[in-house]
Structure formats: C-alpha cells, structure tokens
Structure 1
Amino acid sequence: MNKKLLALAVFLCTIMSFTACMNDKDDDDNVSDEWKTYNNKLVNEVASNSVYSARASMSGNGSVYWKSVDDFIQDETSTASPSTKITESGTPYMTDSVAIRYEGWFYLLDGTKYTFDSTEGDKNGIPFRTRVNSGLVDGFVTMLQYMRKGDQVEVCIPYLLGYGTSGFYNSGVQVIPGYTTLWFRMKLMDIYPNNPDEWNK
C-alpha cells in the first residue's frame, strides 16, 4: 500500500474514533461520577436525618430539606418600612419583594465547606432585597414562600432545585459545578408587597 493511502487510512480511523467518542459523551462530561455520587449521598444523609423536614417544591422537581436555626444571625437589625407586609399567613407571595440575609455554600469532595455567596462578612450583614420570582433558584424560592419575618432556617437544596446539571457560571467561569447540592442559611428580614395598596381592597 502506498504511503499516502496508509496515511489517509490512519487519518480516517482517527477521525472516526474521535467522532464515536464525542457521540458517547453527554452535556455534563465535565462533572465526574464521583461528584454526582458524593452529592447524592449528601442529600440522602440529610433526607434521612429526622432533624430536617422535607418541603416539596411547587415545580414538582423534588423537595428541599430544612431546619430552624437560631445561631446564624443574632441581632435584630431590620429594614422595616411602612410598606412591610402583614398578612394572615405572613409569608411572601411570588410577586412580593423580600429583604434577606443569607450564606450559601456547598461541600467539596474532601468535606471542605465552600461559601460561594453571603450577605455577611465583608458585606456587613446588609440584607439583599429581591423579588421572590426574580430568577432565584427553585429551592431558595420554595423555602422563602413558607418563611415569616424573622424566621431563620438552614436549607439543603438538591441539584434539581439548584443549578441543575449545568452549574452556575459568572463571567464565563464555572463557580458551581453541575449536580451540586447547595446549602443556605437564611433569615427573612422583611416582606414588601408588590403593590402597597393591595391590602386596602
């Protein structure tokens, strides 16, 4: 066989092998099986711990697991205003805005806690004000809808109610891998109605 044909045959075999490998891969190839298994294990441990209660998401994608805490934020700093919502249930609707203090983290494979966002520390405990339906992850919204002003909770959010299989990117850099179990400690400081006159009807 001449050298050109041999080189062409080797090249075609290489391309075919590469294509076959690419077709076997799915969208989450950057996430190892070890990471997926580890995060599933974390959720299962929390779900079987009687200290935590399950709260089903309205999206139908699963449940968050939560417990009350009183050691997160000790001060009673509030952003109270005349428009603070007082309702029979005392919990926010999807169209309401809230002021919250929180810390969000996940665990690395070696068990190290990695805090990815917080209103504490260098942000001096300044509450974050946002609308409930403004793009927060499903599990965070699920928990918020059952909290009253002053409630403090720790919540475990499985990946389907967090950043899913894709993870979270900031400026093109992946900050949170896909399949990551999230934890938050949250304190609901205030609830602001979407329409200040909605309670005068």
Structure 2
Amino acid sequence: MLLAVVVGAMCFAACSETNSTVEEFPEWQSKNDTYWTNLYNATKAKVDAGDTSWKLIPNYSKEKQANTATSAVTYKPEDYIIVHVKETGTGAAMPLYTDSVRVHYQGCLLPSTTYTSGLIFDTSWGGEKFNEHTARAAHMLVSSTVDGFSTALQKMKVGDHWTVYMPYQLAYRGSEAGFVPAYSNLIFDLRLVEIAHPGTALGNN
C-alpha cells in the first residue's frame, strides 16, 4: 500500500458536512502549524543540548542550494524534517535520490476527533503492530515519494529505525491525498531494509 506515500496519490472526496456530522479534523491547519512550531522548538533545544537521538534534517532539495555573494540560504522550521532515532543500523551507505529501497513503514496523522492516537493512513505491514517475522517491506523509488519521505530515506542506513516527523509543507501541502486531509503533518515509523542502485534488483523478503 502506497496510497499516501507516492507523489500523485488519488485524492478522496470528503463527505458533505451537516449539522449532525462530527467534524473529524477541526481547525486542522492551525493545529498542525502549532504542533510543528512546538515540536521544532523542543527538538532544537534537545539537539543544542547534545541529545544525538534527535535530528533536524533540512529538505534535501534545499540542502543542496549554495550561498552566493549576494544572498544566503535561509531555513525556516518547515524546511526541516524531525527524526527520533530508535535504532541505529550497521549499514554504511545511504540511498541516493535515484535509488530504489525496501522499507517497512507506517504513517499516521496527528490525533483527531475520533482517532485519538492519530489515524494510521498507510502501512506496509498488516495490523497496527510491527512483526519482523511476518512483515514484508515495501519496494519504492526514493524519487517517487514526497519531499519529507525522500529526505529521510537519503539520510538512513540499512538497519536504521526512525520515527520521522514531516511538516505538511514537505508532504501534501494544501491538498488532500488518499485518507490524508490538506495541511497534515505526517508521522512515519521507518525501517530501512535494502538499497539498490538503478539497474539492480531488490530482494523479495
């Protein structure tokens, strides 16, 4: 299932609201903006204090921009993804933008009216909990994913297990995609399994 990961996922039609309808995502953009500001500030404080289990990683496309004599590259909080390192792998290489990968993933939203732990909108494994004995990793091109996802993949090594927080500016911005409403920050559980360069096949397990 790649409904909410691959760029260009189909949009869904929201049900029309009536007076008796419970609004699932009230003041959603404002909630996501506030969440991101608070998370960014808290993470920056941890990083500045020397906590290496948290990372602020700039959007890969902006990271490659160079300062010039007349202008400097500036970063805003929404230009970063935030990473909480759960496990560090033993791999040496990191995927390139043109590579393919096998990765276990589960994506969820911020808590909403009825999804108090956050709606799980997409997952590569069956069930809510990850089981290394039964889960099958998804195959994908790094370049086929949204900016936040591809930024994370390009900094991971095989065996890494990260929780990755993406601002909506590096996800679907102001558009709906699958079960993801507009202006949604995304939270992913990612486990990188394998990297393959163009022309090289990935494994099947």
Read off the aligned partner of 2:39 and give its amino acid letter: V
Quick check: 1:119–1:128 contact (8 Å CA) kept in 2?
A: yes
The 5-angstrom pairing of residues 49-198 of structure 1 reads: 49=42, 50=46, 52-60=54-62, 62-70=79-87, 90-110=93-113, 111-122=116-127, 124-134=134-144, 136-169=145-178, 175-196=179-200
Quick check: 1:91–1:147 contact (8 Å CA) kept in 2?
A: yes
Q: Which structure's residues are more often strand, by fraction?
A: 1
1:59 alignment partner, SS class: helix
Q: Which structure's residues are more often helix, by fraction?
A: 1
The 5-angstrom pairing of residues 34-45 of structure 1 reads: 34-45=27-38
Task: Tell me which structure has the larger Cα radius of gyration.
Answer: 1
Question: Structure 2 stretches of 5 or more lacking a match?
Answer: 1-24, 47-52, 63-77, 201-205
Per-residue CA deviations over 1:104-159 (Å, capped at 9, x if unaligned) read 0002334431101111225941100111112x111000000000000110010000
Read off the aligned partner of 1:36 and give its amino acid letter: Q
CA distance in 2, matches of 1:185, 1:101: 8
Per-residue CA deviations over 1:18-53 (Å, capped at 9, x if unaligned) read xxxxxxxxxxxxxx8821111012112221222632
CA distance in 1, matches of 2:112, 2:33: 12
TM-score, length-scaled by structure 1: 0.65
Quick check: 2:112–2:119 contact (8 Å CA) kept in 1?
A: no
1:43 alignment partner, SS class: helix
Report percent identity of matched pairs: 27
2:96 alignment partner, SS class: coil
Structure 2 equivalent of residue 10 of structure 1:
none
1:167 Cα deviation from its structure 2 partner: 2.1
CA distance in 2, matches of 1:97, 1:67: 23
Question: Structure 1 stretches of 5 or more lacking a match?
Answer: 1-31, 71-75, 77-85, 170-174, 197-201
